Structure 1
Amino acid sequence: MIRIGIVALLGITMVGCGNSAYVPVSGTITYNGTPLAKAQVIFQPTAASGTDTGGVGSFAMTNDAGQFTLEASTITPTPGAWVGNHTVRIALPPDGASSGEESDAAAPGKGKKAFKQPIPEKYNTQSTLTFSVPAGGTTTADFKLEGPPLPKR
């Protein structure tokens, strides 16, 4: 009987632990001073050693005004991002694709050119962008990107 009580108490205590490390995070992305619409935004927690393996990341797609609200990459939808330091990656998906989808533009061998990411590598595959998510969350995770003109989408 005592064992059942302890297990029940542990279960109740752990229910509150699942999402407590995630806090609301939103912001705006601009590119050469213009809102960056339909961009993929990824926040990956950074481990103490500086690697990108510090925990579960978060993602978002920007709206037409370049605004985004992060959601954790968990099995059940969890708004927000893990508290702490993150590497941030920003990219544009191939035309016709949205977050996590493939399009014909990304598939070589179908009579179309392979997709070339128009956002400079320093903002995505070789990202130098970082952000520290505060314990209370933030609405000012803003990034002002600069680079060559983007192709018409």
Structure 2
Amino acid sequence: MRHRMSISLALAGLCCVLSGCSDVPAGMAKVSGTVTWNGVPIEAGYINFDPDSGATPQSGKIEQGEFSLLAPVGMNTVRIEANKEVGFVEAMNQPAFKQYIPPQYNFESELSEEVEEGVHNEFQFSLEGQET
């Protein structure tokens, strides 16, 4: 009985390897990389991969200038957002924040990247300009 179980597990493992079994869903790929603003890593923000295919966009956090997420395979428009504290709203008893990355990197993004299936995609975004 023990011998049969070992053979069954070995065959299941072989089938998984041959069929491309992985923790990444079909049509998605691992992406990671860095984001800097005028040469300085973005402390906290978000990055969005919006596929030209019309598939669902995927977002991830930027922390200490680094990001890692699953993104749709194919050509993607990349949008990057980051806020900084600009004051305090007494009426709401909380800090006020302002988007400081210019629109050409987010709402009107000129950034695009090809995400390839079956590989780990590594991207570096070196954003430069005047704060908005």
Fold-level similarity (TM above 0.5): yes
- Pick one of 32, 40, 56 that aligns with 2:38: 32
- Pick one of 67, 81, 85 that aligns with 2:75: 85
| Larger strand share, 1 or 2 | 2
Identity %: 35
Q: Is the contact between residue 40 and residue 93 of structure 1 (CA under 8 Å) also seen in structure 2?
A: no
> Deviation at 1:117?
1.5
Which residue of structure 2 aligns with residue 146 of structure 1? 128
Q: How does 1:33-112 map to 2 (within 5 A)?
A: 33-47=39-53, 54-64=54-64, 66-70=65-69, 80-93=70-83, 95=85, 110=92
Q: Is the contact between residue 31 and residue 144 of structure 1 (CA under 8 Å) also seen in structure 2?
A: yes
- 1:4-47 CA-partner distances (Å, limit 9, x unpaired): xxxxxxxxxxxx9x921111111110111111121110011113
- Pick one of 98, 105, 108 that aligns with 1:123: 105
Q: Is the contact between residue 29 and residue 121 of structure 2 (CA under 8 Å) also seen in structure 1?
A: no
Calculate the TM-score normalised by the size of structure 2: 0.68
Structure 1 distance, partners of 2:73, 2:97, is 34
Look up the equivalent residue of 1:68 and give its one-letter code: F
Structure 2 distance, partners of 1:43, 1:133, is 9
- Would you say how many aligned residue pairs link Structure 1 and Structure 2? 108
Runs of 4+ in 1 over 4 A off after TM superposition: 109-115
> Deviation at 1:137?
3.3
Q: What CA RMSD, in Å, does the superposition of the two structures yield over aligned residues? A: 2.9
- Note the residue ranges of structure 1 that are not aligned, 5 or more in a row: 1-15, 48-53, 71-79, 96-104
Calculate the TM-score normalised by the size of structure 1: 0.60
Structure 1 distance, partners of 2:102, 2:73, is 27
Alignment pair present for 1:23 and 2:22: no
- Pick one of 133, 137, 151 that aligns with 2:115: 133
- Note the residue ranges of structure 2 that are not aligned, 5 or more in a row: 1-21
Structure 2 distance, partners of 1:34, 1:115, is 19
> Deviation at 1:93?
3.9
